C-alpha cells in the first residue's frame, strides 16, 4: 500500500496520521508490510479485548458469510445471528434490560438513546458532563463536554446543560423538564475518571424523582474491560438505557442501546418506523458479536482485567508518574507534563509498543491492553514505559 495514495484518496483527520502499513493482526500484535510487529497496548482503542482475529470469532464470521449478508433494513426480517446474540447478552444483564436496538457504532448508539429518551418522556432538555465524550455526530457531539470539538459545529442541539463530573452542581440541573442525563460511569477520553459511587447513586435517585431517563455510555467500559461485565456493576446503579459498542463485535462494527420493552414502545408509534437503520444488526457483525460474547463469558477474561490493573498500578510508579487510575484494563497513566508524555509515547512506539493519548489530555496516556495479553507481554510494556520515562530525564 502506498502512503502517498493513502493520503491522496483517504480523507484525513489530522496532519499527522501514524501511517503504519498494516499486513495482518493476530492476538496482541499488529504486523506491518515490513514484517514489523507492534504490541497493541490500546486494543484498537478498546475494541479488540479478546485480541485480534480470535479464532472463534473468525469461524463465526466465515460461517455466516456462507449463509447471507445484508438482506433487509433493521427490524423487519428474523435473522438468527441477531436473535442469538441479543438473547445471550440480555440473559446476562439485570431484568430491567429486555431489548436491544442494534446499530453500527458507538456514536449511533448514543444518538438512538437520546432520541428514545426524548420520545419516551416528551421532553427535550439534556444534562451532560464536562470533559465527557459521546461521539462526533451532531447529537452525540451536542452532549460531549469539550468546547474545542463542539465550537466548530455550532449550533448544536439546544437545551443541553453541562455539570462538572463528580460535582454537586448536577443535582440542580435535573428537573421535571429533563429528558435524560447522559454520562460515562468512567469518563474515558476525559482522562479515565471513575464516578464516585454515592454521587452516582444520588443521580439515579434524582432521575427517578423527576421522571428523567438515565443513560450510561459504556461504549468504552463495557464487555469486561473494567473487570466487570459492565462498569455500572461497581456502582450498584442501573441506567434506564445502556449504550454499547467497541469490544462488542470482536473487531467487527456493531453497537447498540439497551432498555426495557416499555421504553422501546416509543419507537413504534407517532409515526411507526420513526427510528430506523439500514445496516444496524448486520448478520456478520452479530455472528461475530455472539461468538465474542460466548468466549468472553466462558473464560476468565474479566478476572484477567483485574490482574492487569493490579500489576500496572503496582509497577508504574516513580519519577514523572503522577497517577495510574481507572479500573481493570481501562487505565490512564497521568504523567507530569506534556513533554514527558509525548517523549514516552514516541519512545514506546520506536520500541514497537502502541500507546495512545486521550483526546482531552496531553498528559494522560491510555492503557487498554487486550485481555488475552500474556504476562511477559504485559511486563515488557510496563518496563518499556519506565525506560522511556527514565530516558526523558537523562537526555
Residues 40 and 112 in one domain: no
Strand pairing report for 213-217 and 353-354: unpaired
Helix, strand, coil percentages, rounded to 5, for the chain:
40, 20, 40
Which pLDDT score is estimated for 360?
A: 64
Q: Cα separation of 216 and 181, whole Å?
A: 8
pLDDT in tens, the chain (395 residues): 688 999 999 999 888 889 999 999 999 999 999 999 999 999 999 999 999 999 999 999 999 999 999 999 999 999 999 999 999 999 999 999 999 999 999 999 999 999 999 999 999 999 999 999 999 999 999 999 999 999 999 999 999 999 999 999 999 999 999 999 999 999 999 899 999 999 999 999 999 999 999 999 999 999 999 999 999 999 999 999 999 999 999 999 999 999 999 999 999 999 999 999 999 999 999 999 999 999 999 999 999 999 999 999 999 999 999 999 999 999 999 999 999 999 999 999 999 999 987 666 789 999 999 999 999 999 999 999 999 999 999 87
Which pLDDT score is estimated for 40?
A: 98
Which pLDDT score is estimated for 15?
A: 87
Contacts of 189 (CB under 8 A, 6+ apart): 131, 132, 133, 358, 359, 360
- Based on the structure, what is the number of domains in the chain? 2
What are the tens digits of pLDDT across the range 178-200? 999 999 999 999 899 999 999 99
Residues 343 and 199 in one domain: no
What are the tens digits of pLDDT across the range 261-302? 999 999 999 999 999 999 999 999 999 999 999 999 999 999
Which pLDDT score is estimated for 320?
A: 97
Residues 136 and 30 in one domain: no
Whichever domain contains 276, its CATH number is 3.40.640.10
Residues 264 and 345 in one domain: no
The whole domain housing 380 covers 3-53+300-394
Residues 268 and 321 in one domain: no
Residues 197 and 332 in one domain: no
Residues 212 and 356 in one domain: no
Residues 49 and 91 in one domain: no
Residues 280 and 349 in one domain: no
Which pLDDT score is estimated for 170?
A: 98
What residues pair up with 37 in beta bridges, in sequence order?
Answer: 31
For residue 193, the surrounding DSSP H or E stretch is: strand 193-194
Choosing from 278, 298, 318, the residue where a domain stops is 298
C-beta separation of 219 from 231 below 8 A: no
Helix (H, G, I), strand (E, B) or coil at 345: helix
| CA neighbours closer than 13 Å in the CB half-sphere of residue 41 | 29
Whichever domain contains 358, its CATH number is 3.90.1150.10
Residues 126 and 143 in one domain: yes
Which pLDDT score is estimated for 269?
A: 94
Residues 248 and 328 in one domain: no
Predicted TM-score (pTM) of the model is 0.97
Choosing from 254, 274, 298, the residue where a domain stops is 298
Choosing from 265, 283, 298, the residue where a domain stops is 298
The DSSP code for 99 is E
Residues 236 and 203 in one domain: yes
Amino acid at each position: 500500500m502506498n502512503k502517498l495514495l493513502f493520503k491522496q484518496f483517504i480523507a484525513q483527520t489530522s496532519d499527522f496520521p501514524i501511517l503504519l502499513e498494516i499486513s495482518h493482526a493476530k492476538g496482541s500484535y499488529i504486523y506491518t508490510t515490513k514484517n514489523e510487529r507492534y504490541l497493541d497496548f490500546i486494543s484498537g482503542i478498546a475494541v479488540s479485548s479478546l485480541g485480534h482475529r480470535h479464532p472463534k470469532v473468525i469461524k463465526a464470521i466465515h460461517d455466516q458469510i456462507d449463509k447471507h449478508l445484508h438482506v433487509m433494513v433493521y427490524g423487519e426480517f428474523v435473522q438468527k445471528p441477531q436473535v442469538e446474540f441479543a438473547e445471550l447478552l440480555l440473559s446476562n444483564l439485570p431484568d430491567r434490560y429486555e431489548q436491544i436496538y442494534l446499530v453500527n457504532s458507538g456514536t449511533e448508539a448514543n444518538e438512538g438513546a437520546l432520541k428514545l429518551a426524548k420520545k419516551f418522556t416528551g421532553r427535550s432538555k439534556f444534562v451532560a458532563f464536562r470533559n465527557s465524550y459521546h461521539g462526533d455526530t451532531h447529537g452525540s457531539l451536542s452532549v460531549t463536554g469539550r468546547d474545542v470539538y463542539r465550537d466548530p459545529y455550532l449550533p448544536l442541539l439546544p437545551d443541553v446543560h453541562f455539570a462538572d463530573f463528580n460535582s454537586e452542581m448536577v443535582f440542580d440541573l435535573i428537573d421535571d423538564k429533563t429528558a435524560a442525563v447522559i454520562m460515562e460511569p468512567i469518563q474515558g477520553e476525559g482522562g479515565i475518571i471513575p464516578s464516585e459511587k454515592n454521587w452516582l447513586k444520588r443521580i439515579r435517585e434524582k432521575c427517578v424523582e423527576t421522571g428523567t431517563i438515565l443513560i450510561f455510555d459504556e461504549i468504552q467500559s463495557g464487555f469486561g474491560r473494567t473487570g466487570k461485565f459492565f462498569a455500572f456493576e461497581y456502582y450498584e446503579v442501573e441506567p434506564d438505557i445502556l449504550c454499547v459498542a467497541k469490544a462488542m463485535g470482536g473487531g467487527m462494527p456493531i453497537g447498540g442501546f439497551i432498555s426495557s420493552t416499555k421504553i422501546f414502545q416509543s419507537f413504534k408509534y407517532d409515526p411507526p418506523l420513526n427510528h430506523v437503520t439500514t445496516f444496524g444488526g448486520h448478520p456478520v457483525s452479530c455472528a461475530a458479536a455472539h461468538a465474542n460474547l460466548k468466549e468472553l463469558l466462558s473464560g476468565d477474561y474479566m478476572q484477567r482485567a483485574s490482574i492487569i490493573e493490579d500489576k500496572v498500578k503496582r509497577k508504574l510508579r516513580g519519577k514523572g508518574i503522577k497517577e495510574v487510575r481507572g479500573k481493570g484494563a481501562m487505565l490512564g497513566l497521568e504523567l507530569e507534563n506534556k513533554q514527558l508524555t509525548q517523549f514516552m509515547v514516541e519512545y514506546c512506539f520506536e520500541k514497537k509498543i502502541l500507546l495512545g493519548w486521550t483526546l482531552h489530555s496531553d498528559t494522560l496516556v491510555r492503557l487498554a491492553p487486550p485481555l488475552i495479553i500474556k504476562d511477559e507481554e504485559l511486563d515488557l510494556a510496563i518496563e518499556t514505559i519506565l525506560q522511556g520515562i527514565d530516558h526523558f530525564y537523562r537526555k
